[in-house]
Amino acid sequence: MILFILIGLALFELLTDNKKITWVTGSILALFAGLRHYSGYDFNSYGLYYYEADSFRVLFDGSVRLESGFLFLSTLFSSIGLNYYTFVLFFSLLSLGLLTYFLYRYVPYPSMVLAYYYGRFYMARDMGQVRGAFAAIILLYSIIFLIKKQPLKFMLVIFIASLFHVTAWAFIVLYPINTFFEKINVKNSMLLIGLSFLFGIFIQTPSLYIWAIPQGYRAYFTSASHTNGAWLAYPILWMQLIILFGMITLRNRNHIYDNEWINILLKIYLVSPMVLIAAGRLETVGGRISTLFATIEMLIVPYFFINMTRYKMLNIIFYGGFSLVIFTLIFILSGMYNEYIPYNTIFSYY
């Protein structure tokens, strides 16, 4: 139901060329996540963390293993007596507010992006892995400084994102990639993917490097529950590769080699399948790092479909259909929907 509303708003935005519709779209997503009650992957576990963080001492004694930025906000709300549901609403409004503002400022049709974001990322991240989702949204702002070649500001954004999820530091690799590769093409993409494959073979032998992994993270490299990924048989990997090379082909066909925005997006997006391949069967490590770069998919896919043919309405139909397919694959066929049935709001209990 929500997806059809979002697609309808995206269509209205396209036909009226009114970007202000984006704030309606973003508000729907923020409230849908913020008013939920025991829905989503980590709702319960974050609730336990929230009530443990009842004093600012937890910022220093290590009793709650969360990144300092998220822990500070949790402690701030908890220590002044606000309940967990208030914090969930606040954090959802903050996350989706930052995302909506970024899209409103830098994207021509933001509601199209948000509709795809809902089908592809929202249910798994904003309704579950909220720290990772928030870090990924903050990292979007680093793109501007990557384009402007301002390394200090680029690093500052990464640092802020890392206060909410440690994997944000992986974004550092974008600066050397952007420096050494002026444009992404099929040849250098295949080269980097090939190198990732070699690394993926190496990383499947933890005994060679486990000594360098902090104790608190070693389970992600050794536990069977984190090391049974599909690796090269992972469907998302192949979907990303198809999108990547499809975008490269579209860029070449439309002769937009010098579009700096598109070139930067392609460089960022390339890293996502590289990480999935380099992580081997370490599905948790690969998934949590890869998703930071995969977020760019919400910017690439609408551009791909809007420019697919010269017929605007046909492109919109293709885009809507593709969004529905992605939502079906990721949310329904994967069984993720079981985590959200029934979807209850806080109003159901008060």
Beta carbons within 8 Å of 173's beta carbon, 6+ residues apart: 271
CA atoms within 13 A on the CB side of 184: 28
The reported pLDDT for the residue numbered 349 is 63
Task: Look at residue 80 and give its three-state secondary structure.
Answer: coil
The reported pLDDT for the residue numbered 196 is 93
| Structural Rg of the chain based on CA atoms | 20
The reported pLDDT for the residue numbered 258 is 65
Residue type (1 letter), 179: T
Task: Answer for the pair 279, 290: CB distance below 8 angstroms, yes or no.
Answer: yes
What's the rounded Cα separation, in Å, for the pair 147 and 162? 21
* Residue ranges covered by each domain of the chain: 1-140+312-350, 181-307
Q: For residue 342, which of 41, 38, 34, 120 has the smallest C-alpha distance?
A: 38
Query: pLDDT truncated to tens, each residue of the chain (350 aa)?
Result: 787 888 889 888 888 888 999 999 999 999 998 888 887 777 788 888 888 887 788 888 777 788 889 999 999 998 888 888 999 999 999 999 999 999 999 998 899 899 999 888 888 777 766 888 999 999 999 999 999 999 999 999 999 999 999 999 999 999 999 988 888 889 999 999 999 999 888 888 887 888 888 777 788 888 877 778 888 888 889 999 999 998 898 888 776 766 788 889 999 999 999 999 998 888 888 888 999 999 999 999 888 888 777 887 888 888 888 888 888 888 887 777 777 777 777 776 65
What's the rounded Cα separation, in Å, for the pair 63 and 272? 33
254 token code pair? 């439309």
Q: For residue 96, which of 36, 170, 53 has the smallest C-alpha distance?
A: 36
Alpha-carbon 114 to chain mean position: 12
Helix pair angle (260-278, 283-294), 10° resolution: 180
Dihedral angle computed from the Cα positions of residues 110, 95, 122 and 46, in that order, rounded to the nearest 10 degrees: 180
What's the rounded Cα separation, in Å, for the pair 267 and 276? 15
The reported pLDDT for the residue numbered 67 is 87
The reported pLDDT for the residue numbered 128 is 66
The reported pLDDT for the residue numbered 192 is 94
